């Protein structure tokens, strides 16, 4: 068994469903990233601008790098999709945020892989670990490691597993056996583009984050643009629509890791329950969970918008409380929601 085969076997034993190895090269897709940033399509995610030159070549991080080992961990669970679950009294949380925060879980596993590599090689090695962090464009290396192709929704899609998985990488100076990139199998399908409520997919393979529901409910820290609020629907954290409608996810494998199974109340949570959370309750409920990223005021802002889109006038008393909130961000969106509900027939 070659070293590459041993590495892949060990990675699978750690619970990753997919793994592959890409060479370190200036792939053409990496230059697209810089163009995307310069066009301003990253919105207020200023952290994506930092170290942009490193993102176009990982040798700016590790000059001796020769290989990128890509690992993929499924987080899909056997629960309804957002497109199937319609209850106006409830909100929607993106699937990846139903369980524990994946960063720490996957990072620990990758450090185990680095230790395994070190045991197999006599000399000291370079082993940089990244889990959706640092100056690495995950998707590009995932493509060239054979994990999957770039979908028209910009997600990596695997023919057997679908797209419900987290990506993580190890950059190393070991020269390994490289995988072939997967062929694009989206064909003429445009379901993801057609289904996006805010038209964030400008064309196949091109996303404008500034219009994406995930960006608007998680990354945007200020007011949600008025013209985009209706399209958010009942989403209070993230969005899965472009993956929900993807044909390659029809038979997607479910996660075997209990850490990614839903916590109580996170599959289509009641909007009134979320609206009543204090800061302390928010911190406790979402400890070690991705939702903490949006912060308390961001979540209540999103809840107000979801209530405004619900057509449920019963929410008005709750919204009136939020409209008097000391945080202007929450109050403004609650007032908008009240006006919308009152104006609807």
DSSP annotation string for 10-59 = HHHHTT-SEEEEEE----HHHHHHHHHHHTTTTTT-GGGTTTHHHHT-GG
The C-alpha atoms of residue 238 and residue 143 are separated, in whole angstroms, by: 24
Residue 132 designated active-site: yes
DSSP β-bridge partners for residue 156: 150
Q: Which helix (H) or strand (E) holds 330?
A: helix 328-343
DSSP β-bridge partners for residue 273: none
Q: Which helix (H) or strand (E) holds 272?
A: helix 271-275
The C-alpha atoms of residue 216 and residue 302 are separated, in whole angstroms, by: 9
Could you tell me if 166 and 96 are in contact, meaning their C-beta atoms sit under 8 angstroms apart?
yes
In this structure, what DSSP letter does residue 267 have? S
The C-alpha atoms of residue 284 and residue 295 are separated, in whole angstroms, by: 12
In this structure, what DSSP letter does residue 5 have? H
**Whole-Å CA distances, 246 to 143, 162, 180, 185, 193:** 18, 8, 24, 12, 10
Q: What percent of the chain is helix, strand and coil (3-state, nearest 5)?
A: 45, 15, 45
The two tokens of residue 191 are 């379901």
Buried b (16+ CB within 10 A) or exposed e, 172-183: bbbebebbebbe
In this structure, what DSSP letter does residue 162 have? B
Question: Which of 57, 132, 184, 273 is labelled catalytic?
Answer: 132
Report, as residue numbers or ranges, the catalytic residues: 132
């Amino acid at each position: 068994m070659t070293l590459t085969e041993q590495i892949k076997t060990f990675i699978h034993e750690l619970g990753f469903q997919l793994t592959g190895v890409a060479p370190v090269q200036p792939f053409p897709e990496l230059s697209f990233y810089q163009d995307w940033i310069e066009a301003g399509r990253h919105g207020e995610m200023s952290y994506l601008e930092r170290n942009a030159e490193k993102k176009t070549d990982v040798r700016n991080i590790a000059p001796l790098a020769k290989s990128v080992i890509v690992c993929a961990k499924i987080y899909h669970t056997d629960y309804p999709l957002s497109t199937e679950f319609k209850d106006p009294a409830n909100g929607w949380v993106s699937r990846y945020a139903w369980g524990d925060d994946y960063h720490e879980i996957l990072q620990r596993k990758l450090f185990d892989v680095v230790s395994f590599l070190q045991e197999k090689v006599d000399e000291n090695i370079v082993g940089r670990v990244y889990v959706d962090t640092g100056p690495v464009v995950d998707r590009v290396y995932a493509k060239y490691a054979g994990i999957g192709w770039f979908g028209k929704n910009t997600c990596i899609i695997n023919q057997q597993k679908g797209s419900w998985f987290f990506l993580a990488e190890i950059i190393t100076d070991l020269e390994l056996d490289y995988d072939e990139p997967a062929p694009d199998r989206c064909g003429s399908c445009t379901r993801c583009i057609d289904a996006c409520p805010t038209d964030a997919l400008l064309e196949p393979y091109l996303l404008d984050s500034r219009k994406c529901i995930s960006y608007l409910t998680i990354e945007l820290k200020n007011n949600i643009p008025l013209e985009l609020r209706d399209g958010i629907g009942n989403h209070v954290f993230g969005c899965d629509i472009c993956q929900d409608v993807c044909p390659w996810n029809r038979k997607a494998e479910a996660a075997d890791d209990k850490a990614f199974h839903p916590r109580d109340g996170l599959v289509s949570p009641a909007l009134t329950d979320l609206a009543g959370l204090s800061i302390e309750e928010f911190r406790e409920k979402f400890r070690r969970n991705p939702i903490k990223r949006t912060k308390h005021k961001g979540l209540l802002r999103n809840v107000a918008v979801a209530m405004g889109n619900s057509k449920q006038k019963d929410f008005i008393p709750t919204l009136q409380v939020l409209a008097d909130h000391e945080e202007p961000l929450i109050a403004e969106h609650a007032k908008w929601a009240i006006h919308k509900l009152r104006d609807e027939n």
